[in-house]
Structures are given as C-alpha cells and as structure tokens.
Amino acid sequence: MAVFRCSEKLLGPSDQPSCKCVALQYLKLNPENDSVWIGLKLEGSCDPSSRQEHWLDGSDVDFHNWKEWEPNNLNCIEHSVYMDQTGGWYDFPDNESNPFICETKDIFYCPQHAT
C-alpha cells in the first residue's frame, strides 16, 4: 500500500490544484505511465451510484473530476481512483500496480552554482 511505501503521506485533497499540477507534470515527464493513484477509495455495492467515497486521510470528498462513463465499477472490482493525463478520474481495480505521488517537506536542495 502506498502509505507504507512513502516516508510522508500521499499527495491528496488538501491542496487540489497543486495535486493536479504535480500529478500531470509527473505523467508528462514519465510517458510510460498513463495514470497515477490519487488516494481516493470507493466502497460498497456493485452499483457505482451507491458506493461510498473517501480520501485516505479521512477528509470528505467535496469535488469530482470523473471522465465520461465513470465511475463504472466494471466487474464489481474497481475500488481505487486514478487520474489520467487529461486530469480526468476513473475507477480501477485494487490489484493493479500504478504509480502514486507522495507529499513531502522540501528536503532536497540544489547546491549553489549547480547546473
């Protein structure tokens, strides 16, 4: 799980414009990846309209950016939410491996006169 692999926390809903900007920049720089996990989980029945949503940090979901026809919970196994290169969201199976982005303090500094 991402929380255990990061030294800090997943980049998430507390600063959504920055989150989207960082995620889209990552996807642009890493074209082999077409999406990132955004830390949003979906739980409940197979009916996509009745599922409960929650951010991993426990905060409320107060906005959405679903792609057309999403979330669809295909085969009743899509419980994670990813963002693609357009910034759109879609649900995806938990058993898939995709990148995620962690929020950390500014700990890396560029040495003076570095090129």
The whole-number average pLDDT for the span 12-27 is 61
Mean of pLDDT values over 37-56? 88
Q: Which residue has the higher pLDDT, 30 or 87?
A: 87
pTM equals 0.69
Is the pLDDT at 115 greater than 60? The verdict is no
Could you report the per-residue pLDDT of 94-110, keeping only the tens digit for each? 887 777 766 656 555 55
Burial 35-46 (b: 16+ CB within 10 A, else e): bbbbbbbbeeee
Q: Average pLDDT for residues 28-36, to the nearest whole number? A: 77
Q: Residue 64: which H helix or E strand, with range?
A: none
81: buried, middle or exposed (CB in 10 Å: 19+, 13-18, 0-12)? Answer: buried
In the chain the domains, ranked by start, together with CATH numbers, are: 10-103 (3.10.100.10)
Residues 49-64 have pLDDT tens digits of: 889 998 887 888 888 8
Mean pLDDT of the chain: 75
- Residue 85, pLDDT score: 82
